[in-house]
A = this chain, B = another copy of it.
Amino acid sequence: MRSRSTTLETAILGLLADSPLHGYELRKRLNLLLGSFRALSYGSLYPCLKSLAARGLIEGQESPDLPPHALTAKRSRIVYHLTADGKEYLQSELSTSGPAAWEDENFDVRFALFGLTDVETRIQILEGRRSRLTERLELARESSRGSSRRLDEYTSELQRHGLEQVEREVRWLDSLITIERDRRRARSTGRDEDRPGTDVKEQG
């Protein structure tokens, strides 16, 4: 119970907001969610679930219903669902748009949960992320100019490639920002509801 990563906690709460799940299944979804590689181990997942349960944000109950074709119950699995406190906490987390939301460690998870986030917050996070990346590009170019000794062939190729990847991500963000701004506009000219998220996810 020593780790208290908001990243992992938010990801778990976000998935549980969709449907109740047990640890094993949760892990698979999490690995799918977070870029499909970057495996998360049980050693971090289960302690985190315990911690969330201890704080009353989720509740677990040993699965009562047997799977369709099973004769006896499998190894008892603990299905977790969000409590009212948990829902409230998740919504308050998802409505923040400070620097924490667009740093490397958190951005992916926050983006993956955009379906539960309102348009205004989505735009703020995307713009924050964008300025974070352009700031990096500035620093990198500045330090490569200011550096007295010029770099080794391979080192400079590594840097060039790194910068290119970041530039590409900035363009990706630009296209996303455009889309979200259009959505905001469409929303304000149409119905003027402002409930978070509910009308954003799934339209096909």
Hey, which bits of chain A sit against chain B, CB under 8 A?
Answer: 32-33, 35-37, 108, 111-115, 136, 139-140, 143-144, 147, 151-155, 157-159, 161-163, 165, 168-169, 172, 176, 200-202
Known: A136-B37, A165-B165, A165-B168. A154 touches B115 (CB 8 A): yes
Judge whether A112 and B147 touch: CB under 8 Å: no
Q: Is the CB of A201 within 8 A of B136?
A: no
Closest to A28 in B: B143
What separation, in Å, do the CA atoms of A34 and B76 have in the docked complex? 47
Within 8 Å CB of A158, what residues of B? 35, 108, 111-112
- Per DSSP, chain A at the interface is helix
Whether the pair A161, B172 counts as a contact (CB closer than 8 A) is: yes
A95 to B140 alpha-carbon distance, docked (Å):
30
Bound complex: CA A55 to CA B43 (Å): 33
In the complex, besides A36-B163, A115-B152, 11 extra interface pairs with C-beta distance below 8 angstroms are A32-B143, A32-B151, A36-B136, A36-B140, A36-B159, A37-B140, A111-B154, A112-B152, A115-B154, A165-B168, A168-B168
Check A36 against B162 for contact (C-beta < 8 Å).
yes
16 examples of A-B residue contacts, CB within 8 angstroms: A32-B143, A33-B155, A36-B136, A36-B143, A36-B163, A37-B136, A37-B140, A108-B158, A112-B158, A114-B154, A115-B153, A115-B155, A152-B201, A153-B202, A154-B201, A168-B168
B147 and A32 form a contact (CB under 8 A) = yes
Indicate whether A159 sits within 8 Å of B35 (C-beta atoms), given known contacts A115-B154, A152-B115. Answer: yes
